[in-house]
Structures are given as structure tokens and as C-alpha cells.
Amino acid sequence: MSDSRSGRRLVVELAAAALARFVLNTARRFTYPFGPALARGLDVPLTRITSLVALNQGVGLLSPFMGTLADRWGPRVMMLIGLACLGCGMLAAAVLPLYATVLLALLMAGLGKSCFDPAVQAYVGARVPWARRGFAVGLIEFAWAGSSLIGIPTVGWLIGRFGWHSPFLALGLLAASSVVLLAMLLPRVPVSRDSAPRSVPAGQGWRLLVRRRPALGGLGYSFCFAMANDFLFVIYGAWLELDFRLPLAALGSVSIVIGVAELIAESLTAFLSDRVGLARAVTGGVALTAAAYLLLPVVARTLPLALAALFLVFITFEFTVVSANGLFTELLPDARGTMMGAVGATGSSGRMVGALLGGYVWLWGGLAATGCVAAALSILALLSLRWGLRGWRPPSRMMEIP
């Protein structure tokens, strides 16, 4: 196969993986805005639905174990298993729309994402040359912004037109179609840089993880940086409502601002991070995000300025996170799945801590305290990353996709 044909095939593979991830992200996120509709449809209190959402998020802590399986069985297998979990759960809720099956559907969606995300990132690390890693990760991450800008509005339309249970059928069928598509398109690839397939014994990936300073520095960054963002994320709605008397209905439009910021950030990652180098992109992104947190309470005097400042925060944050995912695929090349699963788990843990403490910090010191704490945590994340990368060098062979 010619180099140009091989490059085109790789782009098709990545686009198919991004579409599959779009389905997973939509299934994971739609319960947030449409929880009341699900509660009415199931005739249960809203608290029963929010409990399901919490369980769905909790399953994300299984990511490190699923990443280890991706190292052992190969990322393609775990990607297909993740999509199959999603499809089975969603179709079960569509056929038998009861609280128990909706519980099953959301648990399976969380399990599917825990299988899929470390595997797809390991797949990118094994399949894409280092010189184009940022482009590939940025392409995959379009699925995140797409779920906010396209997936969630589509789910709303389906609920309004066909009833609260209709998204389960649509997402289940899309997941099943994605299984078939990826099974046809994705080749079996090794998870390490070696040309021969490699199966990492159980536990070896964890031993490598705790012994490699770059990996530990990356995990410290992931925890602190995610925690910093949730300090702001959990209070921005209350802040806008209190300071600018923004009605509850209008707060939904702010998600569009965030979605557009995420889309721009992912585009910047795809087309800029490889040019400047992923390590430099992440370092600069963390510094800019810390500055944006400090700037937020200073400039947010009017609603347009407040939205512009939020826009800046989410662009810099998302650019940094996506670029870091590309960087992390090479920090533990012998166990990429384990590394990416651990990154997902430490990020989830950081978000949980940030969500628990963010409200108290805001009540104590307002937006100024929130911005200062978020900036301080971002600086800690930068220090951890720089400590980990001291002496680390990217792969010497800077291959490029034709």
C-alpha cells in the first residue's frame, strides 16, 4: 500500500473512531439536561435520576483496569467491547423502558466509555506517528464538542417528537452500527512501539507506571488541572445567576458558548500542537489557563465580558487537556492503555474533589477566591508536569503521515 493511501486510510479510521466516541459522549451527557424529562417519563423523583448520573460517573473510576485490558488484549478489542456495552444497555432500555433498565443503560454507558476512551487513545499512540499525534488526538476529541453542539440538541428534538425513551433506541442502534463499522475498518495493532504485537502481563503496566517519573508527573498534572477546572465549573451557573440576574432558561445558552470554545480548542490542538510540539503546547496551555482564571474576576464586570472571560477559560483549558492526551500517549509507550486509563481516573478524582470543595470556596470568597484557587492548582499541575518531563525526550524518529 502506498504511503499516501496508507495516510488516507488512517484518517478514515480516526474519523470512524471519532464518530463512535461522539455516540458514547452523547449517551453519557444527555441525562444532565434531560433528567427532568426522564424522571417524568419513569414517574420517579428527580433525585432517582441524579443518583443514576452519579453511578454513571462512578463507573469512570474503572478506566485504569480497562486500560490494562487494552494493553493485554489490544485497543481494537476494548473499543468494540465498549461500544457493545453501550449498544446492549441502550437497546434494553428502549425495548423495556423501566427504571431498572434505564439504570442498566446508564451503567453500561459508563462502562462502555471506560473501555473505549483508554483504548482509543492507546490506539492513536500505537498507530499514529509522533509528529502527527496532536492532529490525531484533536480529531478524536471533536467528538466531545460535537456531543454538546449536535448530540444533545438532537436528543432534545427526539424527546420532544417521539417521547423520553426514543434516545435510547437511537443511541443503541448507532452504537451497534459503530461496532460493525470499527470491526471492518480498524486493524489489529500492537500497543507498544515495537513492530511485533505485544501482550503486557497483568500488573506489569502498573509496575511500569509507578516507576516512570514522566508518567507520575502526568498523573499529578491530571489530578490538579481537572480539580482546578471544576472549582469554576460547579459555580459558574450560580455566579451568572446571582451577579447578572441571568434567568435559569438563559443559562442553557451558556453551554453553547462552552461547546463552541471546546470546538475551537480541539481545532487548535489538531492544527497547532504538532507545530509547536506537544510538550510546549501543554506547558503554554497550563500557564494561559492559570492566567485566564486570575483574569476572570477582574474583567467580568458585565455579562458580555463575563461570557468572553468564560470563553477564554474553556478554550485554554480544553486545548491543554486535548494536547496533554496526545503527549501522554508517549509517556509510557510499553503500556499506553494503562497510562491513559490512569490519566482518566486521576482526572475524574480531581473533578470529584473540585466539585465537592468548589461551592465552599465560592461561598467563602466569591469569584475572586475561586479564580485564585483554580490558578494555584493549575500552577501545581504545571510544576508536576515539568518535574515529570525533566530529562524526557520525544521519539527520535519524527515520522509524518503523508
Number of domains in the chain: 2
Could you say which of 185, 214, 249 is where a domain stops?
185
Q: Does residue 136 belong to any structural domain of this protein?
A: yes
Q: Does residue 399 belong to any structural domain of this protein?
A: no
Burial of 335-374, coded b for 16+ CB within 10 Å and e otherwise, reads bbbbbbbbbbbbbbbbbbbbbeebeebbeeeebebbbbbb
When pLDDT is cut at 50, 70 and 90, the band that residue 87 belongs to is very high
Tens digit of each residue's pLDDT (9 = 90 or more) over 272-318 = 988 999 999 999 999 999 999 999 999 988 888 998 999 999 999 99
Lowest mean pLDDT among 29-33, 135-139, 145-149, 326-330: 29-33
Shared domain for 232 and 368, answered yes or no, is yes
When pLDDT is cut at 50, 70 and 90, the band that residue 53 belongs to is low
Q: Does residue 400 belong to any structural domain of this protein?
A: no
Choice between 345 and 208, residue whose per-residue pLDDT is larger = 345
Shared domain for 175 and 31, answered yes or no, is yes
What would the grid cell of residue 212 be? 516512570
Q: Which domain holds residue 111?
A: 3-185
For the chain, counts of helices (H) and of strands (E): 17, 0
Lowest mean pLDDT among 186-190, 210-214, 299-303, 390-394: 186-190
| pLDDT surpassing 90 at residue 237 | no
Mean pLDDT of the chain: 85
Could you say which of 152, 185, 218 is where a domain stops?
185
How far is it, in rounded angstroms, from Cα 389 to Cα 282?
11
Shared domain for 173 and 217, answered yes or no, is no
Lowest mean pLDDT among 76-85, 124-133, 288-297: 124-133
Q: State the amino acid at position 353 in one-letter form.
A: V
Shared domain for 118 and 234, answered yes or no, is no
Shared domain for 36 and 171, answered yes or no, is yes
Residue 62: give its domain's CATH number.
Answer: 1.20.1250.20
Predicted pLDDT of residue 395: 66
Q: Does residue 191 belong to any structural domain of this protein?
A: no
Shared domain for 33 and 109, answered yes or no, is yes
Q: Does residue 193 belong to any structural domain of this protein?
A: no
Predicted pLDDT of residue 398: 41
How far is it, in rounded angstroms, from Cα 181 to Cα 401?
23
Shared domain for 217 and 103, answered yes or no, is no
Shared domain for 178 and 311, answered yes or no, is no
